[in-house]
Structure 1
Amino acid sequence: MPANRAIAFDALPGPITAYLTAHRDHDIAAQLDLFAADATVDDDGHTHTGHSAIAAWMNRSAGAYTYTITPLAAEQSGEGDYTVTQQLAGDFPGGIVDLRFRITLRGGLIQHLVIEP
């Protein structure tokens, strides 16, 4: 696997930028439009596959806590593979966490998303 290479946020592909904006704005419909029909999301020890499961995960996640997002870093590790590190600060336990959003694109859509500390 190639080494991660730091990139500027404005160098991220359009679907990733659009997803991050929709995520920040809690716009579930806009987020879901950016996922392939058979996409998977791994978050908090659970895997969500397909639009229905991903939409349910987004709805649960969006209402759980109030938080702000600060982008920290972006990297590319291969063709279609990116990692964006963001800091979330809010009313969840601990109050602040840095999360890595590992995103794999296929055909201009998000095929796989892993969210982890």
Structure 2
Amino acid sequence: MTQHNSLRSDLLPAAVRGFLAAHVVRDADAASSFFAEDAVAVDQGESFRGREQIHAFLRDAGSEFEYTTERIGTTRIDDGHWVVTLRLEGTFPGGVAELDYRFTIRRDAVAELVIANHGS
């Protein structure tokens, strides 16, 4: 069972809030703008380095499916590390996924994002 966290969105760093707002509406241009130039994003073990590769990843990931996204949890590890759990429901295989978006923030930008199955 998923534990819902009551941490308010406005307590997230601005880069995380901005990324999530853009990501939910699938605006890859805006979402990628919250990353540092030398950032790394990792999804399903595949790494994307630099804002240009991250932009392409965000633009293409899941584009063949229809789905909704709901934030169901937020954990602050420390000032530079946050985990946001999102629940996706849609037309992809399995129909439901809970994913942890693990953010590392450096100088008000996302330096690293690791996307993994919730709890893994």
**Do these two structures clear the TM 0.5 threshold for a shared fold by scoring above it?**
yes
Identity %: 31
1:37-116 to 2 correspondences below 5 Å: 37-116=37-116
Amino acid at match of 1:60: D
Q: What does residue 8 of structure 1 align with?
A: 8
**2:28 aligned residue:** 28
Letter of the 1:91 partner, please give it.
Answer: T
Contact 1:9 1:73 in 2 (8 A): no
Give yes or no for contact 1:104–1:113 (8 Å, CA) kept in 2.
yes
SS of equivalent to 1:64 = coil
> Gapped runs of 5+ residues in structure 2?
1-5
Q: What is the deviation of 1:59?
A: 1.8
Letter in structure 2 aligned against 1:77: I
Query: Secondary structure in 2 aligned to 1:23?
Result: helix
Q: 1:62: how far off?
A: 4.7
Secondary structure at the counterpart of residue 7 of structure 1: coil
Q: Deviations over 1:2-57 (max 9, x none)?
A: xxxx7332211111111101000101110111000000000011010001211121
TM-score by length of 1: 0.90
Gaps of 5+ in 1: 1-5
Q: Distance in 1 between matches of 2:64 and 2:107?
A: 31
Shift of 1:58: 1.2
Which residue matches 1:3?
none
* TM score, norm. by length of structure 2: 0.88
Amino acid at match of 1:86: L
Q: Distance in 2 between matches of 1:55 and 1:95?
A: 25
What residue identity is the alignment partner of 1:7?
L
**How many correspondences in the alignment?**
113
